[in-house]
Amino acid sequence: MAVRTKAKATRTKAKAVRTKAKAVRTKAPRPKAIRVKVTRTGKGARARPKTTKARAGARTARAKAIARAKAKVARARAEAKAMVKAAAVAMPPAPAPVVPTELDMRSLRDAQARWERETVKPVCDEKPERCEHFLSGSFVEVPRLATPLDVDGWDYVDRDGFPGEYPYTRGVHPTMYRGRLWTMRQYAGFANAEETNKRFKYLLEHGQTGLSVAFDLPTQIGYDSDHPMAAGEVGKVGVAIDSVRDMETLLDGIPLDKVSTSMTINSTAAVLLAMYVAVGKKQGVPAAKLTGTVQNDLLKEYVARGTYIFPPGPSMRLITDIFAWCAKEVPRWNTISISGYHIREAGSTASEEVGLTLADGIAYVQAALDAGLKVDDFGPRLTFFFGAHNDLLEEVAKFRAARRLWARIMRDRFGAKDPRSLMLRFHTQTDGVTLTAQQPENNIVRVTMQALAGVLGGTQSLHTNSFDEALSLPTEKAVRIALRTQQIIAHESGVVNTIDPFAGAYFVEAATDRIEREAEAIIAEVDRTGGMVKAIERGWPQRLIHESAYRHLRAAESGGATVVGVNAYTIEEAPPKDLLRVDPAVERAQKARLAQLRASRDAAAVEAALAAVRDAARGTANMMPPILTAVEAMATIGEVCDVLRKEWGEYKPPSLF
């Protein structure tokens, strides 16, 4: 105690000496003024000593005064340094950093066992916990308490590192949301191009920062609106786009050099991307300045979603042709959004979502390499798309694990050198499968939790579902609430002010490690089957998802998993009102517009362009140039896809049961 008191007194004295030194510097004496005679030769002439001897004397006097002041300051500084040094000697040494040892861990293990025995057990004997087993959203047992024992052997630099540096666990950018918020990109599209264009402008006026296009089912599977297979589906789940004229209307008044656009399109991605580039040309925006993303992820269509057209071989060719063409012609475009969202929507667990999505990514990278591309030429433009489910902590861990695992795959498996190739940049959408038709306002809370998980997990862009989407297409009011949810998180919650705030939390770090291990095991199984295409043909990933989906369904039906408003806390409700429905007149109008297009275009030019598409499909040339020429000649999406159907055939899924 005496040592600490003496040290404190010494520090106080040192502070006083430093203050005195500062005062000395401030009040250093100036040399005495020297009287001189002034000779003026004109307006504003300067006063100078009359003789050379007088001038020299003035300089000498000033120099001596400055030297005396400097010496006094130096003495004060030396005295202050001596006092500080004496204080440091008097203080006890700072403790060395504590590195956990095996002995420490044994002590902690013993302490936790004592806590369980002496503190927890008496409470649980008197009043048991709410249930015997607590499970995550992926049916994984959740511990009562996470401690350093759950991350034993954890190395911060190796496992987490720093944002913007390998392994990118904590984020792909050094400043994350302190530098720039995520892109608020609401998924929108319904009826025809005119109606969707109005919705786009409404969202941009209310603060949305990027577009995301939802296409109707006929557009997604390559049928024109007047095809018999399109009957009753035109404009229902997205916007109907038959030709480049529809795309022009869709993007009318939207500056494509300033707004990025994400298009959720897969089997017909090449055709829709060509239309977008053609519209950019008409706006005077060169392809090199266009920014956005095309989903272009066919493997997950075979696994989970079902909007496929062609067999895997030709589909993979289209994907890699887009990689190669965009690298040269549209370098700022993200050429694929490798999607776990639909895998999760189909019923997978968090680990299965990561494992199967990254296995898809491995297949795409390998296909591009096999096509002669270099990994660092296309790697930086790969992006991902994940869902955000209800279990907030598990979802945050999922995003962190996916980043770390992908960085290692690209570096160690594919030899990528460009740091951008190692970065898992991703879009997040709150999971539609969690929305309920009962008490739909409850969905606002669910979406908020899921959006928060995406932000805490470091997403680059985000879509928040509207509360009424379990009932219909979202109304303007519901869309506005969904967008405001993002804006409130961004500007009022405070979570954006520090990077990866859950890092170091024992439970989240342990969950991150667990999801990474489980995802690696899935990838290893896919590798054993010969890759993702072979695994799909055997139906392995489909069965994996179906089994997890069945567990989720049984848990909800049995009451093992509480769904508020569905199997608990239910109420009597009146039928919903003011739902958004697509007028059947939209389909009739779209057919009429299509007929007018066919009547007014140059039929010979269309036939020649489609013949070029057919020739390219039979050979090995890149498919994008002839497809672009065809859509500019006013060929429709159905006509282009029909040519490819005849050349490549259509995919037939395997029987799984």
- Residue among 436, 418, 427, 393 at smallest CA distance from 567: 436
Does any domain span residue 644? yes
Does any domain span residue 584? no
Residues 161 and 145 in one domain: no
Residues 529 and 627 in one domain: no
Quote the tokens at residue 177: 């949301």
Residues 162 and 78 in one domain: no
- Domains: count for the chain: 4
Averaged pLDDT, 521-545: 96
- A 10 A CB-CB count for 373 gives 17
Question: What are the start-end ranges of the E strands in 206-270?
Answer: 210-214, 261-264
What are 252-264's pLDDT values in tens digits? Answer: 999 999 999 999 9
What are 403-450's pLDDT values in tens digits? Answer: 999 999 999 999 999 999 999 999 999 999 999 999 999 999 999 999
Peptide bond into 167 cis (omega under 30): yes
Does any domain span residue 47? no
Coil/strand/helix, residue 135: strand
**Lowest mean pLDDT, pick from 46-50, 242-246, 356-360:** 46-50
Point out the domain boundary residue: 505, 536, 558. 558
- Return mean pLDDT, the chain: 90
Question: Amino acid identity of 250?
Answer: L
Does any domain span residue 581? no
Residues 504 and 359 in one domain: yes
Residues 255 and 327 in one domain: yes
Residues 107 and 246 in one domain: no
What are 266-322's pLDDT values in tens digits? Answer: 999 999 999 999 999 999 999 999 999 999 999 999 999 999 999 999 999 999 999
Residues 332 and 398 in one domain: yes
Does any domain span residue 41? no
- With cut-offs at 50, 70 and 90, classify the pLDDT of residue 83: low
Backbone angles phi, psi at 29, to 5 degrees: -65, 140
- With cut-offs at 50, 70 and 90, classify the pLDDT of residue 72: confident
Coil/strand/helix, residue 38: coil
Burial class (CB in 10 A: 0-12, 13-18, 19+), 381: buried
Does any domain span residue 423? yes
Residues 600 and 639 in one domain: yes
Residue 105, pLDDT > 80, answer yes
Distances (CA, A) of 336 to 389, 408, 464: 23, 20, 21
Does any domain span residue 43? no
Supply the pLDDT for residue 290: 98
What are 612-649's pLDDT values in tens digits? Answer: 999 999 999 999 999 999 999 999 999 999 999 999 99
Name the helix (H) or strand (E) containing 519: helix 506-528
Name 642's Cβ contacts closer than 8 Å, sequence gap at least 6.
222
Radius of gyration of the chain measured on its C-alpha atoms: 34
Averaged pLDDT, 357-362: 98
Supply the pLDDT for residue 54: 59
Residues 320 and 174 in one domain: yes
Supply the pLDDT for residue 51: 57
Does any domain span residue 221? yes
SS3 for 445-505 is HHHHHHHHHHHHCCCCEEECCCCCCCCCECCHHHHHHHHHHHHHHHHHCCCCCCCCCCCCC
Question: What are the start-end ranges of the E strands in 76-143?
Answer: none
Residues 172 and 143 in one domain: no
What are 190-228's pLDDT values in tens digits? Answer: 999 999 999 999 999 999 989 999 999 999 999 999 999
- β-partners of residue 184 are 462
Residue 532, pLDDT > 60, answer yes
**Cα distance from N-terminal residue to C-terminal residue, the chain:** 78
Supply the pLDDT for residue 402: 98
Residues 116 and 263 in one domain: no
* CATH number, domain with residue 194: 3.20.20.240
Residues 69 and 186 in one domain: no
| Cα–Cα distance for residue pair 497/322, rounded to 1 Å | 38
Residue 520, pLDDT > 80, answer yes
Point out the domain boundary residue: 535, 558, 581. 558
Point out the domain boundary residue: 536, 558, 580. 558
Q: Are 334 and 294 in contact (CB under 8 A)?
A: yes
Q: Are 583 and 191 in contact (CB under 8 A)?
A: yes
Q: What letters, b where the CB count within 10 A reaches 16 and e where it falls short, cover 645-656?
A: eeebeebeeeee
What are 431-440's pLDDT values in tens digits? Answer: 999 999 999 9
Coil/strand/helix, residue 430: strand
What are 126-185's pLDDT values in tens digits? Answer: 999 999 999 999 999 999 999 999 997 888 999 999 999 999 999 999 999 999 999 999
Domain of residue 76 covers 2-34+55-90
Supply the pLDDT for residue 414: 98
- Residue among 271, 268, 275, 263 at smallest CA distance from 220: 268
Q: Are 399 and 354 in contact (CB under 8 A)?
A: no
- With cut-offs at 50, 70 and 90, classify the pLDDT of residue 84: low
